[in-house]
Structure 1
Amino acid sequence: MITNEQIIAQGLDRIRAGYVFPEKAVDVDAEIRRRLDLGAYAGLDGPGLCEAVTAHLQEVCPDKHLRLLWTDEPQSLEPADQDEGRAAFLDLLRRENQGVRRVERLDGNIGLIDVRWIATADGGAAVIGAAMHLVASSSALVLDLRSCRGGAPEGAAMWCSYFFGDDQVHLNDIYDRTSGETRQFWTLPHLPAPRYTDRPVYVLTSATTFSGGEDVAYTLQAHGRAVLVGETTRGGAHPTVRHPVTEHILVTVPTARSINAVTGTNWEGVGVVPDIPVPADEALDRALEAARGGGNID
C-alpha cells in the first residue's frame, strides 16, 4: 500500500518536472518536504491529505490549478491520455449544449446569454453562433459567466471575436513550458453569426467564475470591450495537466500560462476584478440598470 510520503514524493516529482515556473517549483518542493519531515501529513486519510497538501502548495505558490486532488471514482494509473481527456471534455460539452445554458431577450431590448462552459471553437461554433444570432438585434448584451467553470482557450477566443471588428485583434498568448512554444490567440476573421461591435456589453462574474470563463472576462475588460459586473473571480489562468498518483489521487500541474496582449500578464491568483463590484446575485439587476440607463463602456 502506497504511503502518504510516497504520494507526496510522486506529486512533487511531477511538479518539479512540469510546473510552468521552475523556480517556484523548487520553493514548493522544499516547503512541502519540510512539513512532511515535521509530520504534518501523518495519519491523514486520502481526502484529508489532498486538502492539507493543496492548502500548503497554494500558501507557497498561490496558483489555483496547483493541487493534489481526491476523486471518489477510481482512475487509471496509466499516464494521462490527452486524446481520452479531450474526448471526455467534448462529451461533457455535448451534454451541456456546448456550454450555453440559455438565451433570452429581456425588457428594453437587452440580450442575455448564460454560459456555463467555454466550448471548443470547432465543436461549439454552431451553438455559439446560434446564440449570437438570437441577440444580434439587441441594444445591449449581458454575457452571464457567473457559473462558468472553464473550457477551451480557442473557444474563449471565438467568444471574444464576436465583440471586435473584422480586423484581427491580438487577444493573448499561451506559453507552454513542456514544448517551450508560445501560441498566439487572435480574433477570428470569419464567424457563423453577425459580430456585436457597436453596442454595450456587460459581463457578469462571481467567485465561481474560473479558468476559461475568466479568460473571456479578462480579455474583454483588458481590451475595453466590456464592463464587468459582479464579484472578483477565482483566479485560475494556467492550463493544467493531471497526473495519477493513486487510483483516487491526482496531482494537477499547470504547465503553461496565459499572457494578455494588453496587460502583459494574467489573472492567476488574483482573479478578474469587476468594474462594478456587487454581490453575484445582484449583478444582473445592476447590469440591466446600467444598460437601460444608456450606460456604455467608454
Structure 2
Amino acid sequence: MAQAVVLLASMLIFSNVGHCVYSPTLIVDMAKVLMDNYCTPEKLKGMEETIDAASSNTEILSIPDPVTLASVLTEGVRNTIGDFRVKVTYEPEYVPAVPPAMPDIPPEQLAGMIKASVKVEVLEGNIAYLKIQHIIGEEMAQKVGPLLLEYIWDKVLPTSAMILDLRSAVSGELSGIPYIVSYYTDSEPLIHIDSVYDRPSDITTELWSMPTLLGKRYGTSKPLMILTSKNTLGVAEDVAYCLKNLKRAMIVGEKTAGGTMKINKIKVGDTDFYVSVPVAKSINPITGMSWEIDGVAPDVEVPAEDALETAVAIIQLRAELPGLLQAAAALVADNYAFPSIGADVAAKLAAAADGGEYNTISTKDELKAKLSADLLKLSGDSCLKTTSNIPPLPPMNPTPEMFIELIKVSFHTDVFENNIGYLRFDMFGDFEHVAAISKIIVEHVWNKVVDTDALIVDLRNNVGGPTSSIAGFCSYFFDSDKQIVLDRLYDGPSNTTRDLLTLTQLTGRRYGSKKSLLVLTSGVTAGAAEEFVFIMKRFGRAMIIGETTRGGCHPPETFRVGESDIFLSMPIAHSETSQGPSWEGAGIAPHIPVPAGAALDTAKSILNKHSSGQK
C-alpha cells in the first residue's frame, strides 16, 4: 500500500501549486472508511503507511474541481487494491435512502406486481422458461408465497426441463438465495450453499438449503439451464455460481458482471465525498473462492442474445441422448466385424450412458468426439468411430481417353537394371470399376512389367480402398493350375464367413509364382493394401521390406444413428483368425525392417545381388 500515493499522484501533472484546496484529512478519512468496511481486509495491508504519506501529498489535494478529485481518488484506489467496485464520488445533494417498510398490498395488486416482474412460459418440448429480474428475500417470499405458486411455480413444475433467465437480474436479497437454490435440490441431506462474510460486523453467515419449502421442489434430475449476461449482477450471480458448483445447473451466455453481495455508500468525514465500498463477500464452500470481481464464467459461452436458443438446443440434444446412445450400441452389436467385442462395447456404452457420463454434453460435436473416444477406448479399434456422412460421387461416364489419363496418373511403372520391374499405386479401386477398365490397365500398366525377371510392388503410400479387387490382384502372382483360398473373411451383419479365392480367369498374362516379388511398406500402408501384404506374406509369395503397416481394417461402412445426423464408421468384416493372428489393429511386420525412405534402394540391392549371383 505504500505505493498508493504514488499511483494517485502519477495520474496528474501539476506544477507551481500554491496551496491545498482540501484538507489532508480527506485522504485519511477515506482510508479509514476502507479499513473499517472493505470486505477483503487483507488487501489493505500497508494502509497506515499510505495515510502517513498522504499528509505530505499536496498535489492531489490541490485539485480544485471536487468531481475531478473524486475521479482521481477512485482510479488510485482501484489500481492499488485491484477492485473496480470501489468508487469515490462527490455528491453534495446526496440523501441516504431508507429501505421502505413492507407495504400492506392487496393480493390482487401483489399478483400484478409478480406478473410484471417475472416472465413465465412453457416452451415447445415441455421446457419451462422463467425470467427473473429481482430475487426476492425471505420476508417477501413468505408474504407472496401462495401467489408465486399459483401464477408461476405450478405452471413450470410439471415440465421436463427448465431455463432460468438471469440475464437482466441486477438486484436481489441475500435471504432469497437459499429459497431459490433449495427448489433445485433435495430436502435431505442439507447442503451448505454459501458463506457470506460481513466486514462491518465481522460476522460470517452460512447459507444452507432448506428442509421444507412452500410447494414441491423441481428436484435434482431434470435439466436446469441458467442464462447469464454481462449485466447479471450481485445476488443473481451468487445463485448462478452456487447452482453451477453444485453441478445442478449449466450456465449459458456471457460472463457475469462480477459485482458484490452488498455495497454501502459511506460518507467521508464531514465532507460531501462518499466511498461506495463492498462490505460483504461470498465464499463458496465448494471452490473456496468467489464470483465477485471476476464474475461467473459460463459453461457454454455465447452472446447473451443467443443464450436462450442455445439452451433450448442443449436441452433437446440431451433429451435425445439416451435414444441415440442406445441406437449406437445396437449398431455396434449387430454389425461390428468382431461380434464378441461388439457385444461388450455395446453393453459398456449403454452403461456409460446410464451412469451419467454423457450428461454434460452440450453440442453434437461434443457428442461425436466423446462417442468416438469411448468406442476407441472400449474396442481398441481406431476404425470404429463417428464420421461425417459423405454422399457418394455421382457416376461418371468417362471416355477411354479419360480412363487412360487417369491410369497414367494413378499408376507408376519402371524397369530398372537387371530387368527389375517396379509398380506403384496408392489406392485400390472397386473391382467393378477395375473390371471395366482392366484391358486399359493391362495395356498401359501391366504389360510394362509382366515380362520382368523380378517385381517390386510399392505400397508405401497406399492408403487402402475397397477389397473387391484383392482376389484379382493376388491371382496374378499365383499359377492357374489350382484355385487357392487366399483368406477367409467374416461378415458381421450376416454372421457368415466366405472364402477369398484366386480367380481362374484374368485379363492379361499372369506373373506367376516363380519369379521374385518384393513388396514395400510403410506406416501409411493401410486397409486393402494390408490385406494384400498379409496374403502375400502368409503364403510366402513375397518378401516384405520397409516398416510395419498401419494396422487398419477392412473398408468400414457408414451407419446412421437412429434418425439423427450422426453416423458411425464401422468395420463389418475381418480376416478369419483360426489360422493365426490377422493384421487388423496390429499391422504387418516386414521381413526386412528399414525406414520407408530406404525400402526401394534395399529392394533393388537385394535383387541386383541375386541377379549377379545367378550370373
TM-score range, shorter chain: 0.7 to 0.9
Does the 8 Å CA contact 1:11/1:68 hold for their aligned counterparts? no
The C-alpha deviation readout for 1:89-131, integer Å capped at 9, x for no partner, is 999xx79639943112223322111121222334223354332
Structure 2 distance, partners of 1:90, 1:260, is 40
Q: Which runs of 5+ in 2 are unaligned?
A: 1-312
1:132 is displaced (CA, Å) by 2.1
Structure 1 counterpart of 2:471, from 143, 157, 172:
157
Match of 2:95 in 1: none
Q: Which has the larger radius of gyration?
A: 2
Contact 2:466 2:555 in 1 (8 A): no
Mapped contact 2:517–2:542 kept (Cα < 8 A) = yes
Contact 1:214 1:233 in 2 (8 A): yes
Q: Bigger shift: 286-295 or 4-13?
A: 4-13
Paired residues of 1:14 and 1:253 also in contact (CA < 8 A): no
1:65 paired with 2:383, answer yes
Give 1:111's match in structure 2, choosing from 417, 421, 425. Answer: 421
* 178-187 or 157-166, larger mean C-alpha shift: 178-187
> What is the CA–CA distance in structure 1 between the aligned matches of 2:536 and 2:410, rounded to whole Å?
18
Question: Alpha carbons of 1:212 and 1:244: their partners in 2 closer, same or farther (altered >3 Å)?
Answer: same
What amino acid is aligned across from residue 458 of structure 2 in structure 1? D
Instruction: Evaluate the alpha carbon distance shift between residue 98 and residue 20 of structure 1 in structure 2; reply closer, same or farther with a 3 A threshold.
Output: farther
Paired position in structure 2 for 1:145: 459
Structure 2 contact 459–519 (Cα < 8 Å) conserved: yes
Structure 2 match to 1:12:
329
Deviation at 1:65, TM superposition (A): 2.4
**Does the 8 A contact of 2:317 with 2:362 survive in 1?**
no
TM-score when normalising by structure 2: 0.41
Contact residue 553 and residue 571 of structure 2 kept, 8 A: no
Aligned to 1:181: 496
Distance 1:179 1:213 in 2: 25
**RMSD of aligned alpha carbons:** 3.2
Write out aligned runs for 1:1-298 (5 A): 1=313, 3=317, 5=321, 7-36=324-353, 37=355, 39=357, 42-43=360-361, 46-47=364-365, 49-69=367-387, 71=388, 97=407, 100-124=410-434, 125-130=438-443, 131-167=445-481, 168-197=483-512, 198-245=514-561, 249-259=566-576, 263-294=579-610
Secondary structure in structure 2 of the residue aligned to 1:185: strand
Q: 1:278 Cα shift? A: 1.5
Match of 1:79 in 2: none
Show structure 1 runs of 4+ deviating over 4 A. 33-36, 43-49, 85-91
CA shift in 2, pair 1:96/1:230, >3 Å: farther
1 CA distance for matches of 2:342 and 2:418? 52
Superposed CA deviations along residues 233-264 of structure 1, whole A, max 9, x for unmatched, are 12233443211348764202222222379x45
Q: Could you say if the C-alpha distance between residues 229 and 190 of structure 1 is closer, same or farther in structure 2, counting changes exceeding 3 Å?
A: same
Shift of 1:182: 2.4
Percent of aligned pairs with the same residue? 28
Aligned equivalents of 2:478, 2:359: Cα separation in 1: 51
Whole-angstrom distance in 1 between the partners of 2:359 and 2:428: 37
Matched residues, number? 281
Give the alignment's TM-score, normalised by structure 1. Answer: 0.80
In structure 2, distance between residues paired with 1:255 and 1:64: 14
Distance 1:75 1:193, change over 3 A: closer
Distance 1:181 1:25, change over 3 A: closer
SS in 2 for 1:55: helix
Over 3 Å counting, the alpha-carbon distance change for 1:276 and 1:96 in structure 2 is: farther
Distance in 1 separating the partners of 2:547 and 2:486: 23
What is the identity, as a one-letter code, of the residue corresponding to 1:58? L
Greater alpha carbon shift after TM alignment, 268-277 vs 120-129: 120-129
The 2-side partners of 1:56 and 1:277 are apart by 33
Q: Secondary structure at the match of 2:506?
A: coil
| Contact preservation (8 Å) 2:560, 2:566 | yes
Distance in 2 (CA, whole Å) between partners of 1:275 and 1:88 is 41
| Structure 1 position 231, deviation (Å) | 1.3
User: Which structure 1 residue ranges, 5 or more long, are not aligned?
Assistant: 77-84
Looking at structure 2, the residues matched to 66 and 127 of structure 1 have their Cα atoms a distance apart, in angstroms, of: 36
Q: Is the Cα–Cα contact under 8 Å of residues 238 and 254 in structure 1 kept in the other structure? A: yes
Q: Which amino acid aligns with 1:32?
A: L
Q: 1:135 to 1:247 in 2, by over 3 A?
A: farther
Task: Give secondary structure in 1 for the equivalent of 2:599.
Answer: helix
Aligned equivalents of 1:152, 1:88: Cα separation in 2: 17
Report if the CA contact (8 A) 2:528-2:554 is conserved. no
**1:142, CA displacement in angstroms?**
0.9
